Amino acid sequence: MTDPSTMAPPSRERRTPGLFVAALPVVLMLALMVTGTLWLGLDAVVLLVAACAVAGVIALTLGVTWDEMLEGIRSKIDSAMPALLILISIGILIGTWTLSGTIPMIVDWGLRSIQPSWIVILAFLITMVVSTVTGTSWGSVGTVGVALIGVAGGLGVSLPMTAGAIISGAYFGDKMSPMSDTTNLAPAVAGSTLFEHIRHLLWTTGPAAVLAGILYLVLGRTQHADGQAVQRSQALQDVLEQAFHFNVLLLLPPAVVLVGAVMKKPALPTVIASSVVAGALGGIVQGFTLEQISSAAATGFTSTMLDGHGGIDPQHLPEAAETLLNRGGMASMTTTVLIGLAGFAFAGILTVTGCLDVLMHRLLAKVRRTGGIILATAMSSLGTALAMGVSYLTIIVPGQAFKDVYPERGLAPKNLSRTLEDSGTVFVPLVPWTEAAAYMSATLGVATMAYAPYAFLNYFGVIIAVICGYTGLGIARQKPAPRPTKEPVPATA
């Protein structure tokens, strides 16, 4: 007789999900997130973990093993680690730039030099330039964005409006800079080249930036400083000038970032180097202790550190000063990192079940005209942003699905790479339960649903892309490629 203990466990049969089962985890996840975050005010991380559990149960019913799910989760998180490490380093950067006096000095300069009616358009233009030079939307928001929102608060200007302008400008560079990770990823996935991709983006991102700029200019003219705003601005300036010593050395931390970007150095060591310089300035110029420098990097700068600086009483600071100064640190990025990990885990489970392949196949079956192809690409990228909340996946998932469709229909691959950037990349920070939205909201101190209506460039790009698809304007064509043929399966004995 055969010893039962030596018998291998029977393998579970893997089943391909039907359309209903394939859509079920995505629909349930969206229902959880919309109901939980927008109506019940529940924590987004907990809801994402619950969505992962639901997806896991569905995966088990399809015959996917726990080890296979773990492998899918692990592969997605592995690809996310560089971005998560940069995210944590930006927390250090914000804390040390505040401690060094760099951010307070920029805010003080802005309060003295900028009129309330100009701050919104300047917020858009400044972050647009900085993000294009540095190639990072998150870094731009965490540096000049923090300073600009501080200026807006001191001047009494609408914070949601200013935050929307900052995010629009930041994502202009995220799309157009040759140093941006998503700008490099999109053409790599689509099969085009970096600089033809950037040139092709001018058809959509150029007009989107012009339209957004006009709106910010018009809306900004409605912002005026009343008597109370003038008093708040003056009170904030007084606190900053008493608490910090301002001089040209405080521009060294931003200079390190700009030099690193121009020299095309990796983002993570560049941000860390800038933080080290800022921490040194905090000790040498501002007189903070090593313990305070370490605390600012780990848990963020706090106004209590100003005790004894220039006769400041931390217990009686203006509200605007506390809002500006209490920020940064690795700990401030905890929620954002957890959202990213949970989002990638959900994506990993959906990938190994084959649900994404089924949904994309059904979508492609309905596409015929050029406009329909562009619209379907945009909708699938937006859907990926809603369901998974990760910028990389909004490019990778629909990019892989549509990669062969464009050449077969006589469309150059750069049309695909452009549409991927016009849709999912810029839509992610507008979805409250995503990693990007959590970061933007925490960094700028403005709720996602408050700034989202003012992030004009993030909407205009995809609208213009679809218009181009249906009109043919700005569409690059090529000779249709033959459909790939499957290799014949050899007969088995």
Structure confidence at residue 3 as a pLDDT band (50, 70, 90): low
Share of the chain above pLDDT 90, in %: 21
Q: Where are the alpha helices (DSSP H) in 421-455?
A: 426-427, 435-444, 448-451
Sign (positive or negative) of CA dihedral 253, 330, 348, 44: negative
Nearest Cα residue to 478 out of 413, 396, 397, 399: 413
Q: Which residue has the higher pLDDT, 396 or 167?
A: 167
Structure confidence at residue 321 as a pLDDT band (50, 70, 90): confident
Question: At residue 12, does pLDDT exceed 70?
Answer: no
Task: Compute the mean pLDDT over every residue in the chain, rounded to the nearest whole number.
Answer: 82
Question: At residue 379, does pLDDT exceed 50?
Answer: yes
pLDDT at residue 458, as a whole number? 93
Question: At residue 447, does pLDDT exceed 60?
Answer: yes
pLDDT at residue 394, as a whole number? 81
pLDDT at residue 258, as a whole number? 81
Q: Which residue has the higher pLDDT, 490 or 480?
A: 480
pLDDT in tens, 219-265: 988 877 666 666 777 777 888 888 899 999 999 998 888 888 778 77
Name the least confident of 104-108, 180-184, 276-280.
180-184
Cβ partners under 8 Å of residue 131, min gap 6? 137, 139, 140, 169, 170, 171, 172, 173, 174, 177
What pTM value is reported for the model? 0.74
Cα distance between residue 170 and residue 153, in whole Å:
19
pLDDT in tens, 427-446: 889 988 887 888 899 888 89
Share of the chain above pLDDT 70, in %: 91
Name the least confident of 10-14, 115-119, 142-146.
10-14
Q: Which residue has the higher pLDDT, 395 or 125?
A: 125
* DSSP-assigned letter for residue 255: H
Structure confidence at residue 486 as a pLDDT band (50, 70, 90): very low
Question: At residue 489, does pLDDT exceed 70?
Answer: no
pLDDT at residue 310, as a whole number? 64
* Residue whose tokens read 């009129």: 115
Q: Are 399 and 420 in contact (CB under 8 A)?
A: yes
